[in-house]
């Protein structure tokens, strides 16, 4: 069951990031700002070369750092030396962020797909996540676009709430995926199989039949990514909570 804390306060997307205030996304500074403001926090996980869970959104380094190449090719120690753009921090590990949050606000963790096609070639990042979470007492919920990832987390962390990150899978936005994979995931058919208890859906597609079915069954519906008060008001007609950025939700 998803703890009530994930519905009681808006969730800061990649933490409360603001480049004008030297707070890059998924950074310690953005985490501290979200805690101070009392928001829940959403973060993303990628895997290092030595199988550590790193708090970083992209598969490649170049958008968010001065470096290039895949994050998967760098060790955690190497990544700890790579500066994030627009700030004075480097890429943190999940363990560091858990220590920083220390249960003060709920933490929504998205495990990024490592298979490339939302398939079963997963495991090391899920294991690294489970290892980092061992003994953590704060409210945590796990989610992924890849249902295989959540099935693995059900095995590794059966007591942690799990959800699916979902959307309409428009072909223009998901060209890397096979059409049959997009069609499958759009229907959210794996919800019960992986033991999910919520979805976090693209706010532009909240009226999809799959979301409406789950909503009618009482499943908590989160949504992403809200960027204006007007979008928030519209989304809350369906969604139970919002993941936001760029304004004060």
- Domain definitions of the chain by residue range: 5-244
The packing angle between helices 124-133 and 147-156, to 10°, is 40
Cα dist. 176→26, 105, 118 in Å? 25, 35, 10
pLDDT tens for the 249 residues of the chain, in order: 999 999 999 999 999 999 999 999 999 999 999 999 999 999 999 999 999 999 999 999 999 999 999 999 999 999 999 999 998 999 999 999 999 999 999 999 999 999 999 999 999 999 999 999 999 999 999 999 999 999 999 999 999 999 999 999 999 999 999 999 999 999 999 999 999 999 999 999 999 999 999 999 999 999 999 999 999 999 999 999 999 999 999
Does domain 5-244 correspond to CATH entry 3.20.20.190? yes
The token duo for 222 is 């989160």
Contacts within 8 Å (CB) and 24+ apart, 152-156: 152/122, 152/123, 152/126, 153/111, 153/126, 153/129, 154/194, 154/195, 156/126, 156/127, 156/129, 156/130
The pLDDT of residue 87 is 86
pLDDT tens digits for 123-142? 999 999 999 999 999 999 99
Query: How far is the C-alpha of 84 from the C-alpha of 107, rounded, in Å?
Result: 21
Please state whether the predicted TM-score (pTM) of the whole model is above 0.95.
yes
């Amino acid at each position: 069951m998803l703890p009530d804390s994930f519905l009681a306060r808006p969730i800061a997307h990649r933490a409360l990031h603001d480049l004008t205030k030297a707070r890059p996304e998924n950074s310690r500074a953005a985490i501290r700002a979200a805690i101070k403001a009392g928001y829940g926090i959403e973060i993303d996980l990628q895997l290092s070369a030595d199988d550590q869970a790193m708090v970083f959104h992209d598969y490649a380094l170049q958008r968010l750092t001065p470096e290039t190449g895949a994050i998967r090719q760098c060790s955690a120690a190497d990544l700890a030396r790579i500066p994030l753009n627009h700030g004075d921090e480097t890429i943190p590990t999940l363990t560091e962020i858990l220590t920083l949050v220390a249960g003060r606000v709920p933490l929504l963790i998205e495990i990024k797909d490592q298979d490339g096609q939302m398939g079963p070639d997963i495991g090391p990042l899920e294991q690294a996540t489970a290892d980092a979470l061992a003994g953590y007492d704060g409210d945590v919920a796990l989610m992924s676009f890849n249902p295989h990832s959540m099935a693995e987390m059900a095995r590794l962390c059966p007591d942690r709430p799990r959800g699916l990150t979902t959307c309409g899978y428009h072909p223009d936005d998901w060209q890397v995926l096979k059409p049959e994979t997009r069609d499958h995931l759009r229907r959210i058919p794996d919800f019960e199989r992986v033991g999910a208890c919520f979805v976090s859906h693209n706010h532009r597609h909240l009226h999809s039949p799959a979301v409406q079915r789950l909503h009618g069954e009482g499943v908590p519906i989160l949504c992403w990514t809200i960027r204006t008060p007007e979008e928030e008001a519209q989304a809350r007609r369906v969604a139970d909570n919002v993941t936001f950025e760029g304004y004060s939700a």
